[in-house]
Chains A and B, each alone.
Chain A
Amino acid sequence: DQQVKQNSPSLSVQEGRISILNCDYTNSMFDYFLWYKKYPAEGPTFLISISSIKDKNEDGRFTVFLNKSAKHLSLHIVPSQPGDSAVYFCAASDLNAGNNRKLIWGLGTSLAVNP
C-alpha cells in the first residue's frame, strides 16, 4: 500500500511558467518531507525539505507547501527552466521511528519544461 502518492506520472509546462508537483501521504506519523530531482541514469539529488511544524519553505525558485490537515504537499518551481526537466520524487519520514527511520518514497512525477 503506497503511503506516499504522486498521482501525476507526468507534467508538461512552458518555460517561464510555474510548475506545480503534488504529493499526498496517508501516514499521520510522517513529520518530515523531502523533494528530490533525478535525471536518467543518475542518482537523485536533494532539492528541498519541510518539517511538519512549517507550512512553507522556500529556496530560490523552489517552494514547498505543506497542508497537514489534507496530508498534502506540493512543490512549486517558478520560473520553470528547461534544465528542470527531470523526475521529481516526494519522500516522507517519521522522525520518531528511531533506528528504523527510513524514507518512504512516491513513484515520481516526470516534468518536461518546453522551451
Chain B
Amino acid sequence: DGGITQSPKYLFRKEGQNVTLSCEQNLNHDAMYWYRQDPGQGLRLIYYSQIVNDFQKGDIAEGYSVSREKKESFPLTVTSAQKNPTAFYLCASSSVDEQYFGPGTRLTVT
C-alpha cells in the first residue's frame, strides 16, 4: 500500500559520526521535505525538494545534507557539524500542498 517509509524508528550514534536517515515514498509525489521536532516545539524545516536533482535549504539546514537522485527517495545526512542532533526527524511528501508524513525517526547522539 502507498505511503512514506522512514527507517529505522530509533537510531543511536556516537558524537562525531555522520548518520543518514532514510525516507522512501511510493505516492508518486514530486515534492519531499525533512523536518525536525524538538520537545515542546513545532516542526522546523531542514531541507525540501520540489523535483528530482534539486533541493533547497529550509530554516535550519546547517549541519545537514540531502540528495534527491530518485523521485522516491530523499535521504538526510546528519553531519558531525550539527551541534544538537538529538531530535525526532520527520519526512514528508506532497503533490500540491497537503503533505503526508512518515512515522519519524528518533535520533539520539551521545
Contacts and interface: CB of A to CB of B under 8 A. Distances in A.
B1 interface: no
A43 B104 contact: yes
Given A95-B97, A103-B99, A43 B42 contact: no
B21 to A, nearest CB: 13
Would you call the interface of chain B mostly helix, strand, loop, or mixed?
strand
Given A99-B50, A100-B56, A45 B101 contact: yes
Contacts of B100: 46
B63 interface: no
Nearest to B9: A41
A93 interface: yes
B97 A93 contact: yes
A25 interface: no
Interface in B65-84: none
A107 B50 contact: no
A48 to B, nearest CB: 10
Nearest to B48: A102
Q: How large is the interface on A (under 10, 10 to 19, 20 to 34, 35 or more residues)?
A: 20 to 34
Contacts, number: 45
Contacts of B58: 102
B33 A102 contact: yes
Interface string A49-76: 1000000000000000000000000000
Nearest to A108: B42
B45 interface: yes
A101 B88 CA distance: 24
B90 interface: yes
Contacts of B90: 43-44
A35 B103 CA distance: 18
Given A41-B104, A45-B101, A93-B97, 16 more contacts: A34-B98, A41-B106, A43-B92, A43-B101, A46-B99, A89-B42, A89-B43, A95-B97, A102-B33, A102-B45, A102-B58, A105-B42, A106-B42, A107-B41, A107-B42, A108-B42
Interface of B: 4, 33, 41-43, 45, 48, 50-51, 56, 58, 88, 90, 92, 97-104, 106
